Amino acid sequence: MTALWAIVACIAFMIVAGAARGKPGRGVADTALLVILIGFIAILDFIIGRFVETGDAAITVAIVCAAGFALDSLYGLLAPERQKRRDKRLRRLMKRRA
């Protein structure tokens, strides 16, 4: 149960950090990516768990991923100029591919 609360706290932080930067959609998008990633982790744990005892490895990996997303949101909050440069580079790259 503690793992669930840790993940929920990270999700809440991502959404709040996105809203504080004026881009709440980024927090929601990160949350969607995290949910998809946790789904992949659950599927892999189910498959691998059929052959090997995995214990709490999936929960640990899910918490680490959630914490990584939360740290990325904190970094975006603390260094907005660097984030803007990255966004500009991504936009240029996407325009070249289109």
pLDDT tens digits along 36-49: 999 999 999 999 99
Structure tokens at 58: 């999936």
pTM of the model: 0.76
Supply the pLDDT for residue 79: 74
Among 57, 25, 35, residue whose Cα is nearest residue 44: 57
CA separation for the pair 88, 50 (Å, rounded): 45
Q: How many domains does the chain have?
A: 1
With beta carbons less than 8 A apart as the criterion, state whether 58 and 44 touch.
yes
Q: Which residue range forms the structural domain that includes residue 50?
A: 2-97
Ranges of the chain with pLDDT below 70: 80, 83, 97-98
